[in-house]
Amino acid sequence: FDHSYPLDYAAQFSADCYEGGYVMIDIPDAGRFLVVPEEAAEVDDLPEDVVVLRRPLDHIYLAATSAMALFNAIDSLDNITMTGTQASGWYIENAVKAMDDGKIKFAGKYSEPDYEMLVDEDCDLAIESTMILHTPKVQEMIESLDIPVMIDRSSYESHPLGRTEWIKLYAAMLNKEDAADAFFEKQVENVDALKDFKNTEKTVAFFYVSSDGTVVVRRSDDYIPKMIELSGGRYVFDDLTGDDSNTSAVKLTMEEFYAQAADADYLIYNSSIDNPINSVKDLEEKDALFSDFKAVKEGNVWCTGKYLYQATDIVGELITDMNLMLTGGDESKMTFLYHVK
């Protein structure tokens, strides 16, 4: 053992560095992985639960969309040869270009991967989001092909920079630690520059309406409520944990949502999951009760762009957007939010 990779915000993984360049990555509830340098010797007597990842990891199947921006930030898109998202679903220019150039192939979405392609392309690692937990047989099938499966749990981080700090996990796998450290320090500086926002005490609801009519919001200990706090607002749900600790989202009936969010000063519709809303009428068509919300009556309905969930690398921008929203700032300077009229 040499040292533990220093983490300032991330709590959903750890990385221990050993002499000779070996790295042990531990993702609680998702497995342990020993990264072995290209020419290094095998390690004897490893615990049965440890999965070996030997560098170079240059035939990765990336089904976790939030990780693409982090690979891009450390100039490692060349390590990804397959993805679970079509080119039309990416909002990261370099990812779209790589797919257009044939360097990254669409290998089926996470729930229906093209197993034959994974084998033919010598896939050496499948990086999945927690959505794979809903289709455990898919994970079992991939692993039965001797392809390791790693689950990205960055969406469970309670601080927005914790989500970005997953760049260090991928850097440890690819021997890009210096690039990751430099990039992450810059993101910390960007967020630190926003820490003096005075709290407006204005309340904000962040949500979307699912196809079954339920309203999906974030747990109170999630990174989105933390962003609202950093921007100078208050998340309208101050003690919401939900029944399932394995998800950062909570489903509410419309009546439950109305009871707590009807008097919220601002509504932000999360279109990174659902389709964007272009007018207040679009929102009211989802449920007539929205017309009674304070934010609807006062014209304080906002919507995120589809790109939001993939933008793990620029968390400071959303905090700035929210502050501009709360303080009546210049909408043209916003990156992710737009005003719904």
pLDDT, tens digit, for every residue of 223-260? 999 999 999 999 999 888 866 656 778 999 999 999 99
Predicted confidence at residue 309, as pLDDT, reads 85
Burial class (CB in 10 A: 0-12, 13-18, 19+), 136: exposed
Q: pLDDT tens digits, residue range 173-222?
A: 999 999 999 999 999 998 988 888 889 999 999 999 999 999 999 999 99
Encoding tokens for residue 207?
A: 């949500």
pLDDT at 272: 83
Tokens of 257: 């949502």
- The mean pLDDT value for 150-162 works out to 94
Cis peptide before 56 (omega within 30 of 0): yes
| Strand, coil or helix: 90 | coil
The mean predicted confidence, pLDDT, of the chain is 94
> For the segment 41-63, what is each residue's pLDDT rounded down to a tens digit?
999 999 999 999 999 999 999 99
Tell whether the model's pLDDT for residue 151 goes beyond 70: yes
Per-residue model confidence (pLDDT) at position 244: 62
User: Please, what is the end-to-end C-alpha distance for the chain in angstroms?
Assistant: 58
How does DSSP classify residue 291? G
Full 3-state SS string of 261-321 = HCCCCEEEECCCCCCCCCCHHHHHHHCHHHHHCHHHHCCCEEEECHHHHHCCCCHHHHHHH
Q: For the chain, give the percent of residues with pLDDT over 90.
A: 88
Element (H or E) spanning 225, and its range?
helix 223-231
- Residue written as token pair 């990385």: 15
How far apart (Å, rounded) are the C-alpha atoms in residues 39 and 43?
A: 12
Token pair for 57: 């990891």
Provide mean pLDDT across the span 96-108.
98
The count of other CB atoms within 10 Å of the CB of residue 44 is: 5
What is the structure's pLDDT at 306?
A: 82
Cα dihedral value 68, 133, 309, 59, nearest 10 = 10
- d(CA 341, CA 334) in angstroms, rounded, equals 16
**DSSP β-ladder status, 31-36 and 23-27:** antiparallel
Token couple for 263: 């008097």
pLDDT at site 56 = 96
- Residue 305: its pLDDT value, please? 87
CA distance 295 to 291: 9
Instruction: State the residue for tokens 């693409």.
Output: 68
**Mean pLDDT, residues 74-96 taken together:** 96
* Range 324-338 average pLDDT: 95
Model confidence pTM above 0.95:
no
**Long-range contact pairs involving 240-248 (C-beta distance under 8 Å, separation at least 24):** 246/29, 246/130, 246/133, 247/130, 248/155, 248/156, 248/218, 248/219, 248/222, 248/223
Q: Residue 297: pLDDT above 80? A: yes
Calculate the CA 324 to chain-centre distance.
Answer: 23
Q: What are phi and psi of 232, to 5 degrees?
A: 105, 20
* pLDDT at site 243: 64
CA 195 from chain centre, in angstroms, equals 22
Separation in Å, CA 2 to CA 14, 36, 47, 181, 182: 14, 15, 19, 18, 21
